[in-house]
Structure 1
Amino acid sequence: MLGKASPVTASYIEPFVGGAYVGIDRNRFTETGGVAGLSGASRFAEIPTLTAGVRAQTEVDLGLGAPVSLHGLVGYRRAFGDVVPTALLAFGTGPSFVTAGIPITRDALIASAGLDLRVSKAATIGVSYTGQVGSRAEDHAVKGTFTYRF
């Protein structure tokens, strides 16, 4: 991930560009169990991605006795390669068939937002949202955290 933070007091705005590569290598397999035994062909899938966006963070005083850290990110992710997972399967000696999984969205908007409250010198609690929205699928999550540094 490449990025350049631009500090503004206790805040920053940072544009970034990043890449990732996922390679999945599945070996051939054959179940035992007679005519109902499933067999599958070997398969290698490659899914490189590029992501670009901007992230920001600032601290604000909400009168809670400690500053609250607010952070967020918005970006665009492009997936390449084998975005439709498939498997070539067969039962026993029967004919082969192809199954397809849930496709990975080629173009997706990614976003996250959260806040962290320092409750002591060593402890922080936080809550955050992350999401990806594309034409084929959406993924949303909310996460709570407790961090203790010693």
Structure 2
Amino acid sequence: MSEASNELSVTRFIAAPPAKVWEVMAERQEEWWCPRPWRVEVDQQERRPGGACRMTMYGPNGEVAPQVGIYLAYDEGERFVTTDAVVGDFQPSGPFMIGIWEIAPEADGTRYTARARHWSEETRRNHEEMGFIEGWNACAAQLAEICEAEAA
């Protein structure tokens, strides 16, 4: 975690080729995006800078948490970057973070890294207290589980 950039991050080695990790990471988010028993439904994804990125998370007790934003970057096979600071037709929104999900080849597998960059130390701390490390590590484990089973 970088205090200067108000960033939180998790990283994990996945014993699967980058192409497999990217396919699951980018195309099959409903299978790994939320820590179980939560789940997510992809509502809209326009995978390009400025394109809509909308999902809804559902909790085990009836919780509903919409995630609405745009892609800032979409580099096929490498990374995607989203933010909730802008929605729709470039309308400002109450920003929480910029999310960066990326992969890179490493040894005989893939290095997965997910970052959340916040506008302030307060929002970074709030995200950390919400369970960022535990939750995002759980998602990374779910992603790895799928990729490693299918690569075996």
- TM-score relative to the length of structure 2: 0.27
Point out the structure with the larger helix share.
Answer: 2
- Greater RCO structure (CA 8 Å; 6+ sep): 2
Q: What TM-score comes out, normalization by structure 1 length? A: 0.28
Please say which structure displays the higher CA radius of gyration. 1
